[in-house]
Amino acid sequence: MNTKQKADIWKECFDILLNTEEPKELIQIVNTEINEVEVELTIEDVKKAMRNLNNYKAAETDGIHPGFIKRRRNKLLNRIYELVRQIWEEERTPEEWKETIIVPIYKKGDIEAGVRIKWN
């Protein structure tokens, strides 16, 4: 089995797991009121989030490693704050942020793991 065939098997598995239809019957919430609360995003919130980035996390699809952002947070703070504030106000997530990379991690002894998995 070549690499492309293995990748196709994994793609099919993840498509089944992650791209399901919405449930036919939605859960009904009874007697619940939703009160909107005004929340203001501050530059301190962004500073805290940048401090809490995980240095050991892999880069996302943009190729930017979280450790890079963390180490240069003083130079990037205002630009990131303005970006996040705009997203917050528009209540719209950039399409690029919806992309992800899924890397299956094999357990010990799982040679050809993708071939042996059956999803029904």
Domain boundaries along the sequence of the chain: 3-19+38-116
pTM for the structure as a whole: 0.52
Buried b (16+ CB within 10 A) or exposed e, 28-66: eeeeeeeeeeeeeeeeeebeeebeeeeeeeeeeeeeebb
Supply the pLDDT for residue 81.
Answer: 93
For residue 13, the model assigns a pLDDT of 75
Per-residue pLDDT of the chain (120 residues; tens, 9 = 90+): 788 888 888 888 777 777 767 666 666 666 566 667 677 889 999 999 988 888 878 777 778 888 888 888 888 999 999 998 999 889 888 888 887 777 777 666 655 545 455 444
Q: Which amino acid is at 35?
A: N
